Amino acid sequence: MPRSSKKSSKRRWSAEVTRTSDALDLKQQIFKQSPKQIAASLKRSAEHNHRRKSSPFRSAMSMLTFYINRAGKNLSATRRKKLEAAKHELRVAFHRA
């Protein structure tokens, strides 16, 4: 019995969550910008979205962490460093650093 079609549709579930998350409305390609732009966009999205279940800071940080964790080993060292810097910028933006 061929299982490949079912398997391939489940493999990309995290990309689907990032695109269609009910928690935040994100701009396209947001995670490929500079750390400050990533943080600013996540902050703006979290503060304007009222469908979230927690604080804006927690919601924004969760989405960023989710993206980093799901990328896993496929994330290059430079991109990982940029996303980790975005975490710091997000803390600064929310006055948590």
Q: Summarize pLDDT for 20-77 with one digit per residue, the tens.
A: 666 677 777 888 899 999 999 999 988 988 877 789 999 999 999 988 998 888 899 9
d(CA 39, CA 86): 6
d(CA 62, CA 97): 16
| Other beta carbons less than 10 A from residue 61's beta carbon | 21
d(CA 12, CA 6): 11
**φ and ψ of 55, to 5 deg:** -65, 160
User: Residue 85 pLDDT more than 90?
Assistant: yes
Domain boundaries, the chain: 31-97
**What pTM was estimated for this model as a whole?**
0.75
